[in-house]
Amino acid sequence: MFSGRAFGLLFFPFLCGALQAQSRLDSVQHLQGVEIVADRYREVIPSQRLSGAALEALNSFSVADAVRYFSGVQMKDYGGIGGLKTVDIRSMGTNHMGVFYDGIQLGNAQNGQIDLGKFSLDNIEEISLYNGQKSEIFQSAKDFGSAGTIYLRTQRPRFAGGKKTNLKAFFRTGSFDLVNPSVLWEQKLSGNIGASFNAEYIYSSGKYKFRYRKVFENGTTAWDTTAVRQNGDIHALRLEGGLNGFLEQGKWNLKTYYYDSERGIPGAIVNNVWKRSQRQWDRNFFAQGSFQKQLFSHDDLLVNLKYAEDRMRYLNPDTTLMYIDNTFRQQEVYVSAADKYSILPQWDVSLSTDYQWNTLDASLQDFVYPERNTLLAALATAFEWKRVKGQASLLGTFVYENIERGGKSGKPDNKKEYTPAVFFSYQPFSRHPFNLRAFYKRIFRMPTFNDLYYTDIGNISLRPEYTVQYNLGFQYRKEFSHAFLRNMNLRADAYYNEVTDKIIAVPKGNGQYRWMMMNIGYVEIRGIDVSGQFEYLLPYGIILQTSLNYTYQKAQDFTDPTDNKPQSGTYSGQIAYIPWHNGSAIARAIYKSWDMNYSFIYVGERYHNSSNIRENYEQPWYTHDLTLGKTFACNKVKWKLSAEVNNMLNQQYDVVLNYPMPGRNYKLIVKVEL
């Protein structure tokens, strides 16, 4: 792997040389994000969104960092720039969250987890989060198949004022020996076709100081020391290319994605072991395309295609635990077609069908080489009558698997499920932008290949994991003509979820890589999400944008009524790592060419086990982050210099037990646009 420092030294002189040029600032305009809504039914259940300049202004290094600011979301973060980062929505588990990249789902049949830390924000135009499912019926059947969804929309080339080429480059450096250049190039090929290419390199040593402290129940301190996190380095290269085109009453796009990384796995701080030696190599590739066109005046067609191949190697050279050197290769082929027909001006129906093929090869002894064929069919309808909007859908999922052991083929039991969803929105007052909303959804997720077949760990008897969701909420959104408060958006939701046959991974032995899989039975989740967004016009032309989010959750394990011992029982306990209270706040101030962004995240007390006893208690944590940026022009080139301070109060905390997070850290960013 080539040196990140060498790459940075090649890239940085270009920036330094340009900065020395004569600076002439004529005017700077701040453009607010523009949202184009193509389907009149889209806002039955609105999404939470971050887009445009507001997304860029966050102290966020990857998609995972940005998603933390949505209500109802819990993040699993194992620390550092290269650490695994996954998302859980409303306590239903990471595998119930569907992640879609330009309209097509990102898959991982091996373990079902999408590492959002692999996706940069440099070419992301918008991040949207939906509870239940996206409020559209003109979509693939996969869009109906998750308890919640995150949509990542990359930047579509736009050319203003007769331009044919756009170029945007970033260079980041700072704590952890970070070197992170990236470039986005966009080219207009014809009046209706645009191309884009995005490249990014990341190097970080991953080293940061942390405080390691243990206090006994009687209040005495067992140990209190400061150490440096080791083996958290990362080298990563990401390449993306795309073509976008418009047709008469239609559009299409093609995209390729390649990610190659080597990273250390710092591991948990346990048994007085401060440094681990495990390594992981990832190589991910996919190519996908989408075609959408209005066939007739009342009929629309959508076709999606995708091929993906993911390779991973895991090495544990530590023979005191267990020497492991395993490689995995998974493949996916995905085809989808959806058709929407307008029966009446206010009533649409759609039918979508998907086919997905997954395989997994591994170097494990006695591996079964699973192959999964999945068929999905979704029938959906949407209507609007006066001030009432509604949607309903029925998803059929049919799963067929084959395994091979010792040269002999086998066929596990096939799965067939029908899962419904119903969504409603009602505006009680014609002159006031106040809406009530509600939805019901039942969905399930299949056990992953690792859950079922991982040698000596998988459990072929695992049952699918089912969820039932109920939601009731409101939204009030209004714009004002007076000078101080320009607009506001308030919303709140109360929800109740049930998870049956929940699949969990329990550590097996001394290593964090070996697990055993089991169904734990039944979980009930009650919660409230509250959020508000406000924009103010202050004196001297200062624009202030604020966002507040709060979540209360009570997620209880009701699996075994007999497991109710006061000192160790798990019955009715809050499930692991789910806080009762968490929230976030964002404040962004814009003054002429200056931009300042403050963000705050709070995660309340929680337990790392469903046995809610003192030994399993995890303290609350919070972080304060600040960014200051300056935009200016130089010879028709637009520049932006930004400085970030993250975790300003240097709080020491763990998101996951024994995986310490970084303290105060810094980042400098240079952005160039041509």
pTM of the model: 0.88
Q: Provide the pLDDT for residue 75.
A: 81
Mean pLDDT of 577-595: 94
Instruction: Give the per-residue pLDDT at 506.
Output: 58
Lookup: tokens for 277: 């030696």
The band of 29, judged by pLDDT with boundaries at 50, 70 and 90, is: very low
pLDDT over 70 at 414, yes or no: yes
Average pLDDT over residues 570-592: 92
Region class of 434: left (phi > 0), else alpha (psi between -120 and 50), else beta = beta
Instruction: Note the pLDDT tens digit of each residue in 460-493.
Output: 878 889 999 999 999 999 988 877 899 999 999 9
Identify the burial level of 441 via C-beta atoms within 10 angstroms of its C-beta, where 0-12 means exposed, 13-18 middle and 19 or more buried: buried
Q: What is the pLDDT of residues 335-344, one digit of tens each?
A: 999 999 999 9
Higher pLDDT, 380 or 507: 380
Cα distance between residue 641 and residue 620, in whole Å = 34
pLDDT surpasses 80 at 93? yes
* Amino acid occupying residue 137: I
Q: pLDDT value at position 615?
A: 83
C-alpha 536 chain-centroid distance: 29
DSSP 140-163: -GGGGSSSEEEEEEEPPP---TT-
At 161, the pLDDT band (50, 70, 90 cuts) reads: confident
Place 514 in a pLDDT band, splitting at 50, 70 and 90: low
Q: Would you mind telling me the total number of residues written for the chain in this entry?
A: 674
CA of 662: how far to CAs of 346, 594, 649, in Å? 53, 28, 12
pLDDT band, very low/low/confident/very high, at 516 (cuts 50, 70, 90) = low
**Six-digit token string for 626:** 């600040």
Q: What is the mean pLDDT of the chain?
A: 86
Higher pLDDT: 6 or 507? It is 507
For the segment 95-135, what is each residue's pLDDT rounded down to a tens digit? 889 999 999 999 888 888 888 888 888 889 999 999 999 88
Query: What is the pLDDT, as a whole number, of residue 515?
Result: 56
150 pLDDT tier (thresholds 50, 70, 90): very high
What angle is formed at CA 400 by the lines to CA 255 and CA 291, rounded to 5 degrees? Answer: 25
Three-state helix/strand/coil letters over 493-504: EEEEEEEECCEE
For range 260-282, the mean pLDDT: 88
- Closest-CA residue to 314 (of 354, 281, 349, 353): 281
Q: Look up tokens 């304060």; give the residue.
A: 624
Secondary structure class of 466 (helix, strand, coil): strand
> How far from 284 is each of 8, 517, 597, CA to CA, in Å?
24, 26, 34
- C-alpha angle 136-132-96 in degrees, rounded to nearest 5: 125
Query: Stretch 570-595: mean pLDDT, rounded?
Result: 92
| Separation between Cα atoms, residue 169 and residue 28, nearest integer Å | 19
pLDDT score recorded for residue 22: 34
Q: Which of 10, 7, 18 is nearest to 633 (CA)?
A: 18
**For residue 476, with 0-12 CB atoms within 10 Å meaning exposed, 13-18 middle and 19 or more buried, which class applies?**
middle
Q: What share of the chain in percent tops pLDDT 90?
A: 55
3-state secondary structure of 5: helix
Q: What is the mean pLDDT of residues 232-255?
A: 94
Angle at 575 between CA 59 and CA 421, to 5 degrees: 80
Residue 299 token pair? 């009929």
Q: Yes or no: say if 93 and 7 are a contact pair by the CB < 8 Å rule.
A: no
Across 59-164, the runs of DSSP E, i.e. the strands, are 73-77, 85-89, 97-101, 104-105, 124-131, 148-154
CA distances to 11, 293, 557 from 578, rounded to whole Å, are: 43, 44, 12
CB neighbour list of residue 248: distance below 8 Å, 6 or more residues apart:
none
pLDDT at 52 over 50: yes
pLDDT of residue 198: 95
Half-sphere exposure of 245 (CA within 13 A, CB side): 13
Calpha distance 362→404 (Å, rounded): 12
Q: For residues 40 and 36, give the distance between their C-alpha atoms in angstroms, rounded to a whole number.
A: 11
Any idea which of 11-20, 441-450, 528-537, 540-549 has the lowest mean pLDDT? 11-20
Is 478 in contact with 419 (CB distance < 8 Å)? no
* Each residue's pLDDT tens digit, 606-656: 998 888 888 888 889 999 999 999 999 988 899 999 999 999 999 998 888
Q: Tokens 């990610």 label which residue?
A: 259
Q: What is the CATH number of domain 4-673?
A: 2.40.170.20
pLDDT, position 507: 53
Nearest to 181 by CA among 63, 5, 1: 5
Residue 323 has pLDDT above 80, yes or no: yes
Q: How sure is the predictor about 42, in pLDDT bands with cuts at 50, 70 and 90?
A: low
- Reported as a pLDDT band with limits 50, 70 and 90, residue 20 is very low
- Domain borders along the chain are 4-673
| Distance separating alpha carbons of residues 367 and 403, to the nearest angstrom | 9
Q: Are 605 and 583 in contact (CB under 8 A)?
A: no
Residues 6+ apart with CB under 8 A from 250: 291, 292, 293, 294
Token pair listed for 672: 């160039």
pLDDT of 78 above 50 = yes
- In 3-state terms, what secondary structure has residue 490? strand
**pLDDT value of residue 130:** 93
Residue 27 pLDDT more than 70?
no
Tokens of 634: 């130089």
SS3 63: helix
Average pLDDT over residues 145-165: 90
Q: Residue 301: pLDDT above 90?
A: yes
- How many CB atoms neighbour CB 325 within 10 A? 11
**More confidently predicted of 323 and 173:** 173
| Residue (of 667, 572, 569, 671) closest to 625 by Cα position | 667
